[in-house]
Amino acid sequence: MPLKFYNTLTRKKETFVPIDKKEVRMYSCGPTVYYYAHIGNLRAYVFTDILRRTLKYSGLKLKQVMNLTDMGHLTSDADLGEDKMTKGLLREGKELTLKNMRELAEFYTEKFKEDIKKLNIQIPDGMYFASDYIKEDIDLIEKLEEKGYTYKTGDGIYFDISKMPDYGILWGGKTKWSEKGARISENSEKKNPEDFALWKFNNKIGFESPFGKGFPGWHIECSAMSMKFLGEQFDIHTGGVDHIATHHTNEIAQTECATGKKPSVRFWMHNEHVDMGGVKMAKSGDDFLTLNRIIEKGINPITYRFWILMASYRTKINFNWEALEGAEIALKRLYKLYIELGEKIGKIDHKYQEKFKEYLEDDLDTPRALSLLWDLIKDENVSNADKRATILDFDKVLGLDFENLKEEKIPEEIRKLAEEREEARKNKDFKKSDELREKINSLGYEIKDSPKGYKISKT
């Protein structure tokens, strides 16, 4: 089957064929590194990791680039509110300087990298700080200026959306956002409420430019960096659904008006939110959960990855601890069944492999892929050795870390209790046998009997 992905640009599932057969080029919107990532943020990177792994599993070469936003991102995601990096510095009582801003960004970037490593997310081929590409931002703004797409106000340089007839094509908009009540301008100098900043003036802290001291707009960094590393047209751009209406819409406007090339991106792919109690998770709210909160509860972080994969990336999911604990039970059972298959690794079962590819290549259908994994484990017509080989093949995409699973060493105390129980069973002292089983269970282990003897495992 050909690869098929849902394309936000066309609002339908389409066959994916890369522009250059030699290499897929993909840009992924990265975090704004002013604070810890929350688990809602991290869903985006699990999604892009599954996409990355699926492309490679299908035999394609890939170049994936991700930005690290360390300037210019205002709290409204548009042109209003406080700069998030400034907010981070104030929160930590640090002086507002570019040096401190970069140090803050580097600290939270390392925390972000620790999180994605715990989730078994593969690092993109390039991760770059936005502040290292000010020249590219300026060059792009000047190109738009030369073509007549910009104008100046008291607080910055703006893009005039009236000059782009198909502005808003990504979200299918024909009615202006302001008419729908979605965005109201607080800047009376703007020609249109939807016009957005390419450069914001700031005389106290910022970068020097031909327009004046300040910062690039949040949207310009992604246009400039994606073009620098992937070219004026590339294959896939990923991000959360909250980027569609503003950030990615403005990226398209900047890039296509500067280059004259349409479309600038072939496939726009977006993951849905993680909600808590029906409300989108956000760093500013009381529902701000980090991955470390999950770890502190004694839950393997891969459980969160597994839970995310139980739903389509385009489905909104509601986080609660009961759901995560249910996923933990299921994943532990999968791990246990895999270990019980033994140590021999046979051959990949091609019937299962083809079905797995079919599901993943159909818009990353991870729920069906996981269901197939369970079917494989239960299939008595496939040898244990071949099951292991096939599961390890599936895990090249699923990333559930089967290859590093090892049978846990059973403590000597538990082994002695198990031997005592075995002796009691031989002597038909079933009362003592049951008491010893209960004691073993109370210590966090279970014992199963079979004609070949007993087996102990951690509950």
pTM of the model: 0.88
Q: Do 286 and 259 share a structural domain?
A: no
Q: Are residues 179 and 284 in the same domain?
A: no
Q: How many structural domains comprise the chain?
A: 3
Residue range(s) defining the domain that contains residue 423: 412-458
Rounded Cα–Cα distance for residues 8 and 172 (Å): 9
Last residue of a domain, one of 241, 271, 301: 271
Kindly state whether residues 192 and 300 are assigned to the same domain: no
Claim to verify: residue 131 and residue 259 sit in the same structural domain: yes
Do 443 and 363 lie in one domain? The reply is no
- 232 and 312 housed in the same domain: no
In this prediction, residues 398-411 reach a mean pLDDT of 86
How is residue 171 annotated by DSSP?
G
Residue 221 · residue 67 · CB < 8 Å: yes
Asked whether the predicted pLDDT for residue 113 surpasses 90, the reply is: yes
Whether residue 329 sits in one domain with residue 225: no
Tokens of 60: 């394609």
Residues 256 and 290 in one domain: no
User: pLDDT at residue 182 above 50?
Assistant: no
Alpha helices in 58-191 (DSSP H): 84-91, 98-118, 134-146
Q: Are residues 387 and 424 in the same domain?
A: no
Q: Is residue 251 over pLDDT 70?
A: yes
Please check whether residues 259 and 360 belong to one and the same domain. no
pLDDT value of position 283: 59
Alpha-carbon distance of 205 to 225, in angstroms, equals: 22
Q: Same domain for 154 and 97?
A: yes
User: Does residue 292 contact residue 117 with C-beta atoms inside 8 Å?
Assistant: no
Helix (H) or strand (E) holding 308: helix 301-309
Cα distances (Å, whole numbers) of residue 306 to 129, 206, 370, 395: 30, 42, 9, 11
Q: 320 Cβ partners below 8 Å, 6+ apart?
A: 276
Give the domain CATH number at 75: 3.40.50.620
- Residue 290: CATH number of its domain: 1.10.730.10
- Which residues are paired to 234 by β-bridges? 265
Q: What is the 3-state secondary structure (H, E, C) of 19-82?
A: CECCEEEEEECCCECCCCCCHHHHHHHHHHHHHHHHHHHCCCCEEEEEEEECCCCECCCCCCCC
Which of 372, 388, 404 is the last residue in one of the domains?
A: 404
Residues 266 and 133 in one domain: yes
Report whether pLDDT(185) > 60.
no
**The predicted structure's pLDDT at residue 284:** 55
- pLDDT of 410 > 80? The answer is no
For residue 208, is pLDDT > 80? yes
Contact 421, 434 (CB under 8 A): no
| CA separation for the pair 264, 169 (Å, rounded) | 12
* Nearest-angstrom CA–CA distance, 438 and 446: 9
pLDDT for the residue numbered 177 = 45
pLDDT in tens, 24-54: 999 999 999 999 999 999 999 999 999 999 9
From 271, 302, 330, give the residue that closes a domain. Answer: 271
β-bridge pairing 234-240 and 214-216 = unpaired
